Amino acid sequence: MNQNKFLYTMKLIACLAVITIHVRFPDPFGQYVKAIARFAVPFFFAVSGRYLLSGVYTTGGIRSRAFRSLKKTIGITVIVYTVYLLYSVLYHVLVGAKLSEVFAGRFNPGSIKRFLIFNTGTVIYDDSYVFDHMWYLFAWIYVLVVIIAAAPVLRKCYKPVMAVLLLALHIFTWMQDFKIVRVFGITLTTPYVLRSWFFTGIPYVLLGVLWGDIVEGLKKDKTTEDYNRIVNLWKIPGICFLSTGILSSCFETFIIGEKEIFIGSFFIVMGILLLSESLSEKGGLLSEMGREASSYIYFYHVLILAILNLGVIRGVFPPVPGIVKPVVLMILSIIIFYGLPKLYRSVINVKKG
């Protein structure tokens, strides 16, 4: 992904889209923006899969590549989780809560069970910052562990596994409001059951692996001129997939209401993957912002929101109208994680010069 400017741009857009999930615009506009924004996490999984096993086919190679990614992800997760845990402790001290009660509520058997199975629950969030956006990091860890364990047979069976889980994900999503579905005693009407490492993480990562195989196969078998000609032909279907996904997500939320994943999300992800090859050099400033700041925006926008809300409650900050609050959070996130570091680097370079 180092040279794909378009994907960095899309990472920035996806991270900003996640903000509109956590801080939505007023309805009905906000309902449809939120539905479209649901593409973000499937996209993160797919683009991670796209480069995870690129050009790697042996058991040892798969495990080596996945293990390197696992170590990096665990390191990031420890840092992000520690930051939020420290904020939670400070918040509860500030509001006069007993920390013993806070930890008892956060780390109880029921919450630990939900966390271990579905990567959600109060183990990774509480009332100090509300959202469990860190589930993505833990889900990615789970997926990498599965890939390492399944490495000997992964290349033989990943396509049918991907297809079955994608189909199950979207069928169960549509059935949630029409019929109570139970699998192994678990009710699938609970949103986080489908938005999990199993139903969302694995199939979308494997979708990325499949796309990586297709692209790398073309690069290997075709000349550079032929490859460029082929990927340029992907622009029209890419735009069609993207447009279909946006319209489908809006239609689905109109028919079945708010869900964690839509069929439209799949089409949006496919559209992005198609366009990512034909527009790989397109990006500019947005690409730079995506490369430098998108991960930080995703990890820490919830913290900025929590501090902003606490400041409003305490009278430190004026209330932010709901119609502009998502935009304010986007701007703050970009300033903090892109603008300020860039300004700091510029000042340091001037001093060195």
What does the pLDDT read at residue 342?
A: 92
- pLDDT value at residue 39: 98
Task: Note the pLDDT of residue 102.
Answer: 87
Q: How far apart are CA 90 and CA 99, in angstroms?
A: 10
User: Tell me, what's the pLDDT at 175?
Assistant: 81
Query: How many residues are recorded in the chain?
Result: 353
- Write down the pLDDT at residue 183: 58
311: number of Cβ within 10 Å: 12
What gap in Å lies between CA 83 and CA 306, rounded to an integer? Answer: 13
Structure-token pair, residue 44:
């993160």
pLDDT digits (tens, 9 = 90+) for 214-247: 999 999 999 999 999 999 999 999 999 999 999 9
- Asked whether 18 and 37 are in contact (CB, 8 A), the reply is yes
> Mind listing the pLDDT tens digit for each residue in 23-74?
999 999 999 999 999 999 999 999 999 999 988 999 999 999 999 999 999 9
| Dist. CA 240–CA 263, nearest whole Å | 15
Rounded Cα gap, residues 71 and 77, in angstroms:
10
| Cβ contacts of 287 within 8 Å, gap of 6 or more | 5, 6, 8, 9, 12
Is the CB of residue 51 less than 8 Å from the CB of residue 69? Answer: no
For 55, residues 6+ apart whose C-beta sits below 8 A from its C-beta are 216
What share of the chain in percent tops pLDDT 70?
95
Q: Pick left, alpha or beta for residue 96 (phi over 0 → left; psi -120 to 50 → alpha; otherwise beta).
A: left
Residues lower than pLDDT 70 in the chain: 1-2, 179-189, 350-353
Q: What is the pLDDT of residue 91?
A: 93
CB atoms under 10 Å from CB of 152, counted, come to 12
Predicted pLDDT of residue 200? 96
> What is the CB-side half-sphere exposure of residue 170 using CA atoms within 13 A?
17
Both tokens of 84, joined, read 């939020």
CA angle 147, 13, 68 (to 5 degrees): 25
CB-based contact 53:208 (threshold 8 Å): no
Question: Domain-by-domain residue ranges, the chain?
Answer: 5-352
Helix or strand run (H / E) with residue 130? none
Query: What tokens does 143 get?
Result: 């997926």
